[in-house]
């Protein structure tokens, strides 16, 4: 097991940060960090995402990764910026070499047993199940665990504070939560209280 996986598992929730500007993404991270969250996936859909990763990675209290990484060149840029884990919502064997060379953790996306097997063969340390909710939700994770009892699964897509514990009970190692936690409309409106309330609710449910 990669040494980052227990840290991700302990976090239980990994916010998937998507925003139309780097400033809004940075604001989301700051507000969520104030609420007690210290693990973040910054997606490559955020403008100038590697620069944001570099800024966040300078804080030793944070565990920062890069998401929706399309190719090895982008992975290299994120790893050089300080990303500790690299995430793609599909299987891409070309990501393994740069990620392993950097000592980082690789999370590849899959949905079916065949795709899970392909992700593992491509070097995945964690298999991201995406889109989780539309594929069957917690029952899908439970079915996959029956075939892959030792694989760390991270369901993402339709996961929120209300159903996250169901995914964990079904066998997920941790979950990724996107728009239900990183709500750009609330960020744009400056509603820090609402964003932090959602984070605190999620953390409270996880701790319970």
Tokens 């700051």 locate to: 30
- pLDDT value at 83 more than 90: yes
Q: Tell me which residue of 146, 189, 166, 198 sits closest to 34, measured CA to CA.
A: 198
Model confidence, pTM: 0.96
The mean pLDDT value for 191-197 works out to 95
Residue 107: band (very low, low, confident or very high) from pLDDT cuts 50, 70, 90 = very high
- Mean pLDDT across the chain, nearest whole number? 96
User: Which pLDDT score, from 0 to 100, does residue 35 have?
Assistant: 95
Tokens 């990303």 locate to: 83
The mean pLDDT value for 80-100 works out to 98
d(CA 128, CA 91): 10
Q: What is the percent of the chain with per-residue pLDDT over 70, rounded to a whole number?
A: 100
Structure tokens given for 33: 């960090």
User: Which pLDDT score, from 0 to 100, does residue 180 have?
Assistant: 85
Tokens 């604001």 locate to: 27
For 4-207, the fitting CATH number among 3.20.20.70, 3.40.640.10, 3.30.1300.10, 1.10.40.30 is: 3.20.20.70
What number of CA atoms fall less than 13 Å from residue 158's CA on the CB side?
A: 12
- The alpha helices in 63-163, defined as continuous H runs, are 72-81, 96-101, 113-121, 138-147
List residues with catalytic annotation.
Answer: 41, 128
Q: How far apart are the first and last CA of the chain?
A: 26
- pLDDT value at 208 more than 80: no
CA quadruple 109, 113, 115, 119: dihedral sign: positive
User: Which pLDDT score, from 0 to 100, does residue 207 have?
Assistant: 78
Q: Tell me which residue of 77, 71, 87 sits closest to 54, measured CA to CA.
A: 77
Q: What is the percent of the chain with per-residue pLDDT over 90, rounded to a whole number?
A: 93
């Amino acid at each position: 097991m990669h040494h980052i996986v227990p840290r991700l598992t302990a976090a239980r929730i990994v916010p998937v940060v998507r925003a139309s500007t780097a400033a809004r993404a940075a604001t989301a991270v700051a507000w969520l960090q104030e609420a007690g969250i210290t693990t973040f996936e910054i997606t490559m859909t955020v403008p100038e995402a590697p620069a944001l990763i570099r800024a966040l990675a300078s804080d030793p209290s944070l565990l920062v990764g890069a998401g929706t990484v399309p190719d090895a060149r982008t992975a290299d840029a994120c790893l050089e910026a300080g990303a500790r884990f690299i995430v793609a919502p599909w299987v891409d064997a070309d990501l393994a070499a740069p990620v392993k060379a950097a000592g980082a953790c690789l999370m590849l996306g899959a949905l079916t047993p065949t795709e899970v097997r392909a992700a593992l063969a491509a070097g995945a340390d964690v298999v991201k199940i995406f889109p989780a909710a539309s594929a069957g939700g917690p029952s899908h994770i439970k079915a996959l665990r029956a075939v892959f009892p030792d694989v760390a699964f991270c369901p993402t897509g339709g996961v929120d504070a209300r159903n996250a514990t169901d995914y964990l009970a079904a066998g997920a190692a941790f979950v990724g939560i996107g728009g239900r936690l990183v709500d750009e409309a609330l960020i744009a409106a400056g509603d820090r209280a609402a964003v932090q309330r959602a984070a605190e609710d999620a953390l409270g449910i996880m701790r319970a």
